[in-house]
Chain A
Amino acid sequence: MESKEMRAAYADTLVELAATNPEIVVLEADLMRATGTGSFQKAYPDRLVNVGVAEANMVGIASGLSATGKIPFASTFGCFASRRAFDQFFLSANYARLNVKLVGTDPGVTAAYNGGTHMPFEDLALMRTVPGLTIAEPSDPASCAALVRAAAAMYGCVYLRLPRKAAPYLYGSGEKFEFGKSKVLKDGKDLCFVSLGALMAGECLAAAKLLEAEGINAGVIDALSLKPLDSPAILAAARATGRIITAENHQIAGGLGSAVAELLAENSFGGGFARVGVRDLFGEVGTQDYLMKRFGLTAADLARQARAMLGA
């Protein structure tokens, strides 16, 4: 399967957008080498602002820039984008009804060797509490590019959660994406996984394959957009299969699992429901593989959950 670095998909799209939209600017907080927007800086040296190691200041500056009509894309590790600059993003950007696109990289276990201090398992939970904020986690380079374009095209704040590593293409170049819309990666009759992000989409597809061999037909929905959530599609899958398992590289509290639980409960869904995600634990250091097992995020964990639900 062809793949591309997610950060390259991000940076390439910004370069492409900047060619036709002079208002696009990129902000970095001394992590440009990690985010990979060096290519943008090369193409538009005057439109990349590196504020130094000062995330709160970066988000404040982005807010001010957007008040003048600029369209700022500000990026840093997800832990700092959310925890460190939350008040600035909440107030100066969102409450002030400005137009800041905040990008948090290295979500959850992808922070790997940077360890617990750098491992955001709570960024989505924090962001979901911000009224009106659009939140998405692309699952492949194509959805990444499309959602960056969609973020630039709309007025309003957006939080994008992005791994920087390479991810395989799940979608062709003609595929259309929009905030609030999920994609069906695989149909299934017995249950449906709802995944968020590249890592968990891959694990859900692998879990579905494991289950297939055992005669269990599992579907996979790639949520893509956490807020707004694609409620109609998820509810339809719940009703069609009778069973939903959410999969997120994040705490089960406040993220995708919570959002889907709220949706299902408020719509009196009485079928099977489980959340796969990090269960009230802090991050740790280790390889991504080690951490996936440590926090129970692997295809095997998903398959086990499915079997338990089906009594298989």
Chain B
Amino acid sequence: MNKTRIGELEGIAREIRMLTIDEIGFLGVGHIGGAMSVVELLTLLYYEHMVVDPAKPRESERDWLVLSKGHAGPTLYATLAHKGFFPREWLHTLNQGGTSLPSHCDRNLTPGVDMTTGSLGQGFSAAVGVALGLLMQGRSSKVFTVIGDGESDEGQVWEAAMFAAHHKLDNLVGFTDYNKQQLDGTTKDILDLESLDEKWRAFGWFTQRVNGHDFASLDEAVRRAKANTGKPSMIVMDTIKGKGCSFAEGLVSNHNMSFGMEEANKAIAILRAETVGGGA
């Protein structure tokens, strides 16, 4: 990926990050930590890799995304709005009664959302099912799915992992958002996942480990994963919970935070200044 394209993607990611902070700040509370750590990934997938048509979200030849860590819904909504699946104004309806944008992803409410998630572990199995179904139908579509590191505590994740390898689902590309934090603390303190890459390899997955905030390496890993045959792919992304949101990044308790527009606007101003300054 060339420098210009990387710069463009960084710019889009910054906009999606700002939209997400504004979206949650407008409501006043939300899962900001895990929303921020997947911004680069969703930007890269929707702007570089996925075959999708915002005008036809259920197009049968599309690629799929199952955001199994469904509490990061607000980032997906900001990305879909940015991409044109629905008007950006919708973002201010997050969690309001009757909204199309609930805190956790819902395939029946939001154009472009492929699977209902929120009960951790379930989306990952569903993604495996989608991948199997698409192969059975002889389609060439890819299925991308994102799990959290805390989510990886669920046994269901590993049941699905074994199944996907056994069935050689090479149309499936999984990502672990390895931000080293779950709800009650660090993964190291609550339930240590190490060595995570070796676990995935042992489960029969083509496994790569990259910096999940670096477009060049993330893009290269996705390219390799898409080209890989005979095995499902797992990309373990080293990420930072709360990344790029000034008041959330670096906090131990940034899983679900209450904050209003004043704080949101400060964080957005810092990101905007980066844009003016020509990027980080």
Interface residues of A (CB under 8 A from B): 28, 30-34, 50-54, 56-57, 79-80, 83-84, 113-118, 284-287, 290-291, 294
Which of B53-61, B98-106, B138-146 has 4 or more CB atoms under 8 Å from chain A? B98-106
Q: Given A51-B153, A290-B97 in contact, is the A113-B190 Cβ separation under 8 Å?
A: no
State in angstroms the CA–CA spacing of A114 and B106 once bound together.
12
Apart from A117-B116, A117-B119: 14 A-B pairs, beta carbons within 8 A: A32-B183, A52-B191, A53-B153, A80-B119, A84-B119, A113-B103, A115-B95, A115-B104, A116-B106, A117-B104, A118-B118, A286-B95, A290-B96, A290-B97
B253 is contacted by which of A33, A51, A52, A284 (Cβ under 8 Å)?
A33
* 6 A-B pairs closest in CB distance: A117-B118, A52-B191, A52-B153, A286-B97, A290-B97, A285-B102
CB nearest neighbor in A for B189: A50
Q: Are B116 and A56 in contact (CB under 8 A)?
A: no
User: Cβ of B17 < 8 Å from any Cβ of A?
Assistant: no
Q: What's the count of A-B pairs with C-beta under 8 Å?
A: 91
Among B99, B102, B150, B182, the most chain A Cβ lie within 10 Å of the Cβ of B102
Q: Give residues of chain B (84-101) contacting chain A, Cβ–Cβ below 8 Å.
A: 95-99
**Residues of A contacting B248 in the complex (Cβ-Cβ under 8 angstroms):** none
A54 is contacted by which of B99, B117, B155 (Cβ under 8 Å)?
B155
What are 19 A-B interface contacts by the 8 Å CB criterion? A32-B183, A33-B183, A33-B255, A50-B185, A53-B153, A53-B182, A54-B191, A57-B153, A84-B119, A113-B30, A113-B103, A114-B103, A114-B104, A114-B118, A115-B102, A116-B104, A117-B70, A117-B116, A287-B97
CB nearest neighbor in B for A58: B153
Instruction: Looking at the assembled complex, report how far the CB atom of A67 sits from the nearest CB atom of chain B, in whole angstroms.
Output: 21
Q: Are B155 and A57 in contact (CB under 8 A)?
A: yes
State in angstroms the CA–CA spacing of A287 and B154 once bound together.
29
**Residues of A contacting B153 in the complex (Cβ-Cβ under 8 angstroms):** 30, 51-54, 57
**Residues of B contacting A51 in the complex (Cβ-Cβ under 8 angstroms):** 153, 191
Q: Given A33-B184, A115-B102 in contact, is the A53-B116 Cβ separation under 8 Å?
A: no
B99 is contacted by which of A53, A84, A285 (Cβ under 8 Å)?
A285
**Residues of B contacting A285 in the complex (Cβ-Cβ under 8 angstroms):** 95, 97, 99, 102-103
Instruction: Looking at the assembled complex, report how far the CB atom of A113 sits from the nearest CB atom of chain B, in whole angstroms.
Output: 5
CB nearest neighbor in B for A56: B155
Q: Give residues of chain B (105-158) contacting chain A, Cβ–Cβ below 8 Å.
A: 106, 116-121, 150-151, 153-155
Residues 203-229 of B, flagged 1 when their CB comes within 8 A of A and 0 if not, give: 000000000000000000000000000
**Residues of B contacting A57 in the complex (Cβ-Cβ under 8 angstroms):** 153, 155
**Residues of A contacting B70 in the complex (Cβ-Cβ under 8 angstroms):** 117
State in angstroms the CA–CA spacing of A32 and B154 once bound together.
17
Q: Given A52-B150, A53-B182, A115-B118 in contact, is the A294-B155 Cβ separation under 8 Å?
A: no
Q: Given A32-B184, A117-B117, A290-B97 in contact, is the A53-B154 Cβ separation under 8 Å?
A: yes
Q: Are A50 and B96 in contact (CB under 8 A)?
A: no
State in angstroms the CA–CA spacing of A113 and B99 once bound together.
11
State in angstroms the CA–CA spacing of A98 and B58 once bound together.
49
User: Cβ of B29 < 8 Å from any Cβ of A?
Assistant: yes
Q: Are A50 and B190 in contact (CB under 8 A)?
A: yes
Q: Are A113 and B95 in contact (CB under 8 A)?
A: yes
Q: Are A30 and B183 in contact (CB under 8 A)?
A: yes
Instruction: Looking at the assembled complex, report how far the CB atom of B31 sits from the nearest CB atom of chain A, in whole angstroms.
Output: 10
**Residues of B contacting A117 in the complex (Cβ-Cβ under 8 angstroms):** 70, 104, 106, 116-119
**Residues of A contacting B97 in the complex (Cβ-Cβ under 8 angstroms):** 284-287, 290-291, 294
Instruction: Looking at the assembled complex, report how far the CB atom of B254 sits from the nearest CB atom of chain A, in whole angstroms.
Output: 11
Q: Are B96 and A286 in contact (CB under 8 A)?
A: yes
**Residues of A contacting B27 in the complex (Cβ-Cβ under 8 angstroms):** 113
**Residues of B contacting A34 in the complex (Cβ-Cβ under 8 angstroms):** 183
Among A30, A51, A53, A115, the most chain B Cβ lie within 10 Å of the Cβ of A53
